[in-house]
Structure 1
C-alpha cells in the first residue's frame, strides 16, 4: 500500500474504533510512538516496538471510565507522511471529563507506519 492508501485505511479503522486492528494491519514491528513532553511520570513519552505500542493503548484504555464521543478527521498526505486530527470526549478515572484534541502525524516506509507522533495540550 502507498501512503495515501494507508492513511485512508487508518482513518477507516479508527472511525470504527478498531485501533488494535489498525496496528496489526498497518504498523511495522519496529514502529515508534511519541507523545508530548509534560506527561505524568508514569506515562512513557517514547514507545518503541509494536507490542509496546499495543500495551500503551491498553493502558490508556484502562484509564477511561466513560466515552462520550470523538472523531477522526480526513488525512492530509504528502510524500511518506500524513496527518489527521483526532478528538475524544471521555471521562477518565480520577481526572474527570476531558475534551481531548490532537494532531496525529505518521511516517510510512515500505508500506507500513513506522512512526506516529501526537501533538496536544498537556494540562
Structure 2
C-alpha cells in the first residue's frame, strides 16, 4: 500500500472512530507515537511499539465520558509523509467538556505507518 492509500484508509477508519482497527491494519509493529514536548501532567506520553500504542489509545478512551462530535480532514500527502487535522468535542471524566484540535503527522515505510506525531495547543 502506498502512502496515499494508507493516509486515506487511516482517515476513513478514524472518521468512524475505529482508531485501534486503523492501528492494527496500518501500523508497523515497531511504530512510535509522539506527543507534544512539555505536555501537561496527566497527559498521555509517547509510546514505542504497537502494543504500547494500543494501550495509549485505551488509556485515552478510559478518560472520556462522552464524545459529542469529531472530525477528521482529508489527508495531505508528501512523499512518505502525510498529515491529518482532527477535532473533537469531548467530555472528560472529572474534567468537563472541551474542544480539542490537533494535527497528526505520519510517516509511512514499506506500506505501514512507522511514526505518528501530534501537534496541538496546550492551554
RMSD of Structure 2 on Structure 1 (CA):
1.0
3-state SS of 2:83 partner: strand
Q: State TM-score, norm by structure 2.
A: 0.95
User: C-alpha offsets along residues 28-72 of structure 1, whole Å, 9 cap, x if unaligned?
Assistant: 000000001232344443210000000000000000011110100
Number of the residue aligned with 2:88: 88
CA contact (8 A) 1:37 1:45 kept: no
How far is 1:122 from its partner? Answer: 1.3
Runs of 4+ in 1 over 4 A off after TM superposition: none
Whole-Å separation in 2 of the counterparts to 1:114 and 1:33: 9
Whole-Å separation in 2 of the counterparts to 1:47 and 1:14: 19
Instruction: Name stretches of at least 5 consecutive residues in structure 1 with no aligned partner.
Output: none
CA contact (8 A) 2:103 2:120 kept: yes
Q: How many residues align?
A: 123
Number of the residue aligned with 1:74: 74
3-state SS of 1:12 partner: helix
Number of the residue aligned with 2:104: 104
Instruction: Name stretches of at least 5 consecutive residues in structure 2 with no aligned partner.
Output: none
